[in-house]
Structure 1
Amino acid sequence: MQSTSSRVVILGTGGTIAGTAASASDQVGYSAAQLGVAQLVAAVPELAGVPLEAEQLAQLDSKDMDHATWRALAQRVARHLERDEVAGVVVTHGTDTLEETAWFLQRVLAPRKPVVLCAAMRPATALSPDGPPNLRDAVRVAREPGARGVLAVLAGQVHGAAEVQKLHAYRIDAFGSGEAGPLACVEESRVRMLRAWPEGDALGLGLVQADPADWPRVEIVTSHAGAGGAIVEALCAQGVDGLVVAASGNGTVHHALESALLAAQRQGVAVLRATRCVFGRVIPVAGQALADAGGLNPVKARVELLLRLLAARLSAGAPCPPRTSRAARRT
């Protein structure tokens, strides 16, 4: 990979890409987030001579991703993107919540430079780890002229934040973009475009400046055979601010669960429907009382609803309320 004057900042957050196992043949019984980002860069010979900066922002298994890390990541990414000499930012991340982090960053920043998330399905100690080639490709995409938006680069494919999903539990080609397909492919260090780079307006860092402990609470419930409303009632009693229902088919919800969701909505809880199907989206039907998530899957719909509630709070100039039950708020 040839050097240019454009720099790439690599922010490490942990994940399987930084994981280690006692045996090189063990690809599932490993410990995530063991190696530092500088070690990950050193393991990719093709990056030698490329102008890079490596910074450890967090060190966690992405199943444990939290709002405080999201806020710190958004702030740090934004700061680096403001630098003229920085072409783009790469974030090493775990695979379990990569799609959620991607959508959070896209909605908050909608960057005009590329922010590329990369990850691995195998630990760094595996016989044939997928982390090094994914990191190499991510840096290549971060330096691609004209690239923009929050992207994910895995197994030679470039995905957009809105579509990327983890579709398989352990294969190295675990990620896809559903019916939309990938944005591009990385072939022999060349980026071949398939679709346009992501567009969008940034909600802005001001949206997430509040203490994450005071951010709205948004949870996901699932519609299934025999579903009831008790979990919704319990969450409302705890003071939940928003609910996403992972609905069946084209956004259909079991009648007992739907009744509880409608009651929660009347109490002031924001509710969105997203389909639990991997392919397709909820097609809106006139007169439906529960809004749909606009094609987002349930975990991204939760991020979206969280940000909408933060935006509404900010526009109203309202302070973050203390954590009390919704019943207590009504009294």
Structure 2
Amino acid sequence: MTSDLIADLVVILGTGGTIAGTATDASDNVGYTAAQLGVAQLVSAVPSLAARRLETEQVAQLDSKDMDFATWQLLAAAVARHLARPEVSGLVITHGTDTLEETAWFLQRVLAPAKPVVITAAMRPATALQKDGPQNLLDAVAVALDPGASGVLVAFGGSVHSAGQVRKVHSYRVDAFASADGARLAAVEEGQVRWLARLSPAEPPLGLPAIARPAAQWPRVQILLNHVGADGGIVRALLAQGVDGLVVAGTGNGTLSNALEAALREAQAQGVRVVRSTRCDAGPVTSSADALPSAGASGPVKARIDLLLALLDES
């Protein structure tokens, strides 16, 4: 017996962020408090969404600079639960911009969903004179309903980016996100999604059991930066505190000062996993038999997530 159920429902999960922020002065785009409005309020502020079949759920209410492992666990479980419902076409997640790219990559690695999970946000609070949140939310719903969409995507400023490529590239402008190598996937124009590139095949999902360990027991993975005068002091301080993994954002093609590399090799010899990325905005770190392990084309924050998940899987 076949079901006549139509998959046209979009579930919108709220986590807070600037998109849900408020300020006392409508002309103030920076002196606001994030995560003040619920996700249902955000939806009701976009009248044209009333024509869509939507559900909302408040998973968290925080400024994304304070995103944590426990909230990631809750969010991943909520996403998986709704994706399993046959009537759901896709999901939208409202989020803060500061750590959006990290959450996007985490969800892609853990769930690798066949249905679209579209993360959106805003650079201006909900009380701003020219707020960007409502349009971004409207666009995200359009992407979640588009038959060409799949996986974890970011809809922001009229563009659609993949979880693997998206990065925050500006601290203030409303077009704050870009794809690392310029390859945005699509544009959203008056509610229509125009695809510009093909989605890359997704790696198999790690699954929720991979992140089931209590958040307080997750491995400790830190990010370091190579720069003029970089030495090994921070590495040795982290070793003394019991770090489990280190991602170093090297200069250029992952290059490191002699002093910093020596300290990282000491850490490696003591059983700490070390991965080498780049502080450049785009481009890979090429592998070499004589160099510390490469993160490939992943930037430092996404390389940290990869290492974190690898350490969880090994423990």
Using the size of structure 2 for normalisation, the TM-score is 0.96
- Where does residue 223 of structure 1 map in the other structure? 226
Which stretch shifts more, 141-150 or 76-85? 141-150
SS in 2 for 1:112: coil
- Where does residue 87 of structure 2 map in the other structure? 85
Q: CA deviation at 1:279?
A: 2.2
Distance (whole Å) between structure 2 residues aligned to residue 195 and residue 111 of structure 1: 19
Q: CA deviation at 1:180?
A: 3.9
Question: 1:254 aligned to 2:257?
Answer: yes
Q: CA deviation at 1:258?
A: 0.5
User: 1:65-84 to 2 correspondence within 5 Å?
Assistant: 65-84=67-86
- Where does residue 106 of structure 2 map in the other structure? 104
- Where does residue 243 of structure 2 map in the other structure? 240
Distance (whole Å) between structure 1 residues aligned to residue 7 and residue 275 of structure 2: 45
Contact 1:20 1:30 in 2 (8 A): yes
Out of 171, 177, 180, which is 1:178 matched to? 180
Distance (whole Å) between structure 2 residues aligned to residue 75 and residue 142 of structure 1: 19
Out of 155, 166, 169, which is 1:167 matched to? 169
User: 1:1-331 to 2 correspondence within 5 Å?
Assistant: 6-198=8-200, 199-284=202-287, 286-313=288-315
Contact 1:5 1:51 in 2 (8 A): no
Distance (whole Å) between structure 2 residues aligned to residue 14 and residue 50 of structure 1: 22
Deviations 1:235-254 (A, max 9, x none): 11111100000100000011
Contact 1:165 1:175 in 2 (8 A): yes
Contact 1:164 1:177 in 2 (8 A): yes
- Where does residue 317 of structure 1 map in the other structure? none
Structure 2 counterpart of 1:229, which letter? G
Q: Percent identity?
A: 63
SS in 1 for 2:56: strand
Deviations 1:169-209 (A, max 9, x none): 00000100022421111111111111122422101111000
Distance (whole Å) between structure 2 residues aligned to residue 5 and residue 200 of structure 1: 25
Q: How many pairs does the alignment contain?
A: 309
Structure 2 counterpart of 1:267, which letter? Q
Q: CA deviation at 1:6?
A: 0.7
Structure 2 counterpart of 1:134, which letter? N
SS in 1 for 2:12: strand
SS in 1 for 2:181: helix
Distance (whole Å) between structure 2 residues aligned to residue 251 and residue 114 of structure 1: 33
Distance (whole Å) between structure 2 residues aligned to residue 240 and residue 42 of structure 1: 45
Using the size of structure 1 for normalisation, the TM-score is 0.92
Distance (whole Å) between structure 2 residues aligned to residue 5 and residue 107 of structure 1: 24
Structure 1 counterpart of 2:94, which letter? T
Q: CA deviation at 1:280?
A: 1.5
Distance (whole Å) between structure 2 residues aligned to residue 163 and residue 242 of structure 1: 23
SS in 2 for 1:290: coil
SS in 1 for 2:51: coil
Deviations 1:124-170 (A, max 9, x none): 00001000000000001001113111000000000000010000000
SS in 1 for 2:314: helix
Q: CA deviation at 1:5?
A: 5.3
Distance (whole Å) between structure 2 residues aligned to residue 103 and residue 32 of structure 1: 22
SS in 2 for 1:291: coil
Distance (whole Å) between structure 1 residues aligned to residue 204 and residue 248 of structure 2: 26
Contact 2:7 2:89 in 1 (8 A): no
Distance (whole Å) between structure 2 residues aligned to residue 214 and residue 67 of structure 1: 10
Q: Any stretches of 5+ residues in structure 1 without a counterpart?
A: 314-331
Instruction: Please report the RMSD computed on the Cα atoms of aligned residues, expressed in angstroms.
Output: 1.0
